[in-house]
Amino acid sequence: MKRILLLILGVTISIHVKAQTPDWSTSVANIFYQHCTSCHHPNGIGPFDLINYSDAVANAQSIVDMVEQRKMPPWPANPHYRRFANETLLDSIEIAKIKDWVLGGTPLGNIALAPNPPTYNAGGSLLDTIHYTVQIPPYTLSSNGEIYRYFAIRPNFTDTVYISQIEVIPGLPDLVHHADIHYDLTGQSYTNDSMSITPGFGGGLVSNYYINAWQPGGNIVKYPPGWGVAVPPGADFVLEIHYGAGGAGQTDTTKMNLRFITSGINNFRAIKVGWLLNNPIPAQGPLVIPPNVITNFDQQSQQINGDKSFIAVCPHMHGLGKSYKVWFKTLSGDSVPLVDIPEWEFHWQKYYFFRKIQKVPSGSIIYAKASFDNTANNPHNPNDPPATVYAGALTTDEMLMTYFIFANYVQGDEDIIIDSTLLASLKPEGIGLQNTVFNLHPNPAEQYFELNSNDESINEVVIYNINGALINQYQINNQHALIDIQMLSAGIYFIQANCNSKTDHFKLIKQ
């Protein structure tokens, strides 16, 4: 009897699955275009393309493995601890669709219904607008050791420029261990570079201002609208590049694309960067990691001096890193999660931008717990057999640091939503085309809504509350917009969509 029941169940399940097998054209192409092709395109950093049906079919099994293990898209932060802007995470429905599509024999479906493939910039850039590129001259590595090299680039700006977005494109992605960006007003870096026979110079860094850090897997840094870094006229950019071992004879052409703030400079807000967590607490001594064991460390910052507005957090460790969790406590005892990396990935060191600016009141202290796996089971262990590892700047040394992007707090900062619509994976055009002029769904919506335009690009999406007050404005320049509304309280809102030749309003119910 049991057997018969099982048999019947089996039959129903298989019929059910069969009836629902998702196809490329109406189901899975959308998922790949939204979450994968920003890297998996002909000039992107992914090892193969996911633009065409045949690309996806050729890699079908490996795709299922990677998405089921949640290794792709890469997003090491734990979404149950803290959510961030521009997350690249698949939900369980999307994962199931990909799996069913592969198990069901990767059907194409009706290709006429497939979305238009996205197009990407041939230079590999994901920025909409590039105002200036800091490009190092081709530099051929002369040794197999680890190399620190400084490159000075003179932009000859005659006015102050205000950087609003930064994208680093490493020339040798497997070798560039970090690229830190500074500016130097003294001219010394430029002189040092000019005196050296090969591009760049060794020795020491001369810097007036630390603009930003970049580590493997680092994403675009995009400050909130009107916020950024002011670079005075006469400044030279200095790129500090740390090359890992084994690169002799290879030529690097790392570049940094910048977008500037072009209007509203009067309201400019200067951001700062800082490694606010560094080294274990004094009771645990300096960072010394014994071999053959997993070791835990605690960290504690100085008291935060004056209210701050935190924009992003970026934890940093090397190959022995295992986990890293960061939070802060206010003077009144509230504990606020900042980021949790349960499985450290050296190759995916992202800047995690908060969805809304995080106010950190004066007197707060930042805490962290981290662990290192210095056993032979860690495939990234630089030593075989494992050996004691100390804090240091080489890849074979370790670090335990967290970098923050922040500004001095101004009343109301905590209400600023850090725009999630400029996510690289939203570039694709033509997703979800409908026969109406605009199409908005889902409605009612809880976390986000999508807006599609079937012909021209949407320039702008504006959200008004029921009293007509402007809540937020998003620049889109795409036929598809995905707007995060988790920050809105439940109620009715008016959504305005603007294209060059058409505009429309929608009533949205936020649940």
User: Interface with ligand HEC by CB under 6 A: which residues?
Assistant: 35-36, 38-40, 45-47, 59, 62-63, 66-67, 72-74, 88, 90, 347
The CA distance from 128 to 459, in Å, is: 13
The CA distance from 72 to 507, in Å, is: 35
The CA distance from 459 to 108, in Å, is: 32
Nearer to ligand HEC, 71 or 356 (CB): 71
The residues that bridge with 491 in the sheet, in sequence order, are: 510
- Closest residue by Cα to residue 213 from 241, 173, 174: 241
Nearer to ligand HEC, 66 or 437 (CB): 66
Nearer to ligand HEC, 13 or 103 (CB): 103
* Shortest separation between residue 270's beta carbon and ligand HEC, angstroms: 29
The CA distance from 345 to 218, in Å, is: 12
* Shortest separation between residue 71's beta carbon and ligand HEC, angstroms: 7
Nearer to ligand HEC, 304 or 341 (CB): 341
The CA distance from 488 to 467, in Å, is: 14
* Shortest separation between residue 496's beta carbon and ligand HEC, angstroms: 30
Show the tokens assigned to 341: 């990396």
**Angle formed by the axes of helices 2-20 and 92-103, nearest 10°:** 100
Residue pair 97/17 in contact by the 8 Å Cβ criterion: no
CA separation, residue 2 to residues 12, 162, 168, 366 (Å) = 15, 72, 61, 58
Nearer to ligand HEC, 33 or 297 (CB): 33
* Shortest separation between residue 47's beta carbon and ligand HEC, angstroms: 5
Place of tokens 């986000």: 448
**Angle formed by the axes of helices 60-68 and 92-103, nearest 10°:** 150
* Shortest separation between residue 347's beta carbon and ligand HEC, angstroms: 5
Nearer to ligand HEC, 174 or 456 (CB): 174
- Closest residue by Cα to residue 494 from 481, 474, 509: 509
Nearer to ligand HEC, 62 or 296 (CB): 62
Residue pair 389/320 in contact by the 8 Å Cβ criterion: yes
Nearer to ligand HEC, 29 or 488 (CB): 29
* Shortest separation between residue 96's beta carbon and ligand HEC, angstroms: 13
The CA distance from 224 to 164, in Å, is: 8
* Shortest separation between residue 75's beta carbon and ligand HEC, angstroms: 9
Show the tokens assigned to 378: 């860690």
Residue pair 442/495 in contact by the 8 Å Cβ criterion: no
* Shortest separation between residue 331's beta carbon and ligand HEC, angstroms: 38
Place of tokens 């060191």: 349
Residue pair 105/438 in contact by the 8 Å Cβ criterion: no
* Shortest separation between residue 406's beta carbon and ligand HEC, angstroms: 25
Nearer to ligand HEC, 213 or 461 (CB): 213
Residue pair 36/47 in contact by the 8 Å Cβ criterion: no
| Helix, coil or strand: residue 415 | helix
Nearer to ligand HEC, 41 or 355 (CB): 41
* Shortest separation between residue 93's beta carbon and ligand HEC, angstroms: 13
Residue pair 151/136 in contact by the 8 Å Cβ criterion: yes
Nearer to ligand HEC, 36 or 206 (CB): 36
- Closest residue by Cα to residue 495 from 239, 334, 503: 503
| Helix, coil or strand: residue 188 | helix
Tell me which DSSP letter residue 28 carries. Answer: I
* Shortest separation between residue 448's beta carbon and ligand HEC, angstroms: 17
* Shortest separation between residue 44's beta carbon and ligand HEC, angstroms: 7
Nearer to ligand HEC, 38 or 323 (CB): 38
Residue pair 122/169 in contact by the 8 Å Cβ criterion: no
